[in-house]
Amino acid sequence: MTPQSNNLRVRRTQKLLREALIALIEERGFDTLTVGEIAQRAMVSRAAFYRNYQDKYDLVERIFEEALDTLLNALGNFGPERPPQQWINLFEHVAEYERLYRALLGRQGSPWFATKMRSSLSELVTRHASIPEKRPIVERRVFVDGFVPMLLASLFVDAITWWLEQDRPYTPREMAIYCSQLAASIYQEAGTWE
């Protein structure tokens, strides 16, 4: 067997497992799923599952990491004081991967995934968002300590969850504008703290 055909088989198996996972989450929820059920739905052996992933959490984490990499490439540097294009990219990304986010953040999803997403977005905000230089106390006490980034991450995760549960009543641009205005208000208020 050639390396290329082996690589195609691996990618096909991973795709089947990911699709099976999402379908099962939509039907029954994440927490009750077993590796055996995921493998059976994907029509692959348990051994094939374990050649690719350690467990169902590893599978979800890998899916999320790939989606996050795509998101990071779309976002670039951002902050509430910038034009909302980066935030538009966020909501467009969620719309593109709607089935994944709807399954994992929805009622049948997992609190583990929502926590993981909040943590990742908080790290993203900490690394890429800038705060005014004249606010070193805020930077030290509430930004670097994680309070403001986690608050902003929670805002966006909850906004995304609501948006998907309501069948996206607003465009990605509208959601980006509303959320970036709320984020700017949070930054502005945090800037007054001593």
For the chain, the domains span 1-53, 56-190
* 55-82 burial code (b ≥16 CB/10 A, e <16): ebeebbbbbbeebbeebeeebeebbbee
CA angle 183, 99, 62 (to 5 degrees): 80
* pTM higher than 0.85: no
| Cα(148)–Cα(9) distance, integer angstroms | 44
Which of these, 26, 29, 10, 21, lies nearest to 64 by C-alpha position? 21
CATH code of the region 1-53: 1.10.10.60
Cβ atoms of 92 and 176 within 8 Å: the answer is: no
Instruction: Return all residues near 42 (Cβ < 8 A) that are at least 6 apart.
Output: 13, 16, 17, 19, 20, 49
Tell how far CA 172 is from the center of its chain: 15
Which of these, 167, 156, 151, 150, lies nearest to 88 by C-alpha position? 156
Q: Which CATH architecture has domain 56-190?
A: Orthogonal Bundle (1.10)
What is the chain's Cα-based Rg?
19
pLDDT per residue rounded down to tens, the chain (194 residues) = 555 556 888 889 999 999 999 999 888 888 889 999 999 999 999 999 999 999 999 998 888 888 777 777 766 655 544 546 778 888 998 998 898 889 888 888 878 888 888 988 888 777 766 554 444 444 555 555 678 889 999 999 999 999 999 999 999 999 999 998 898 888 778 777 76
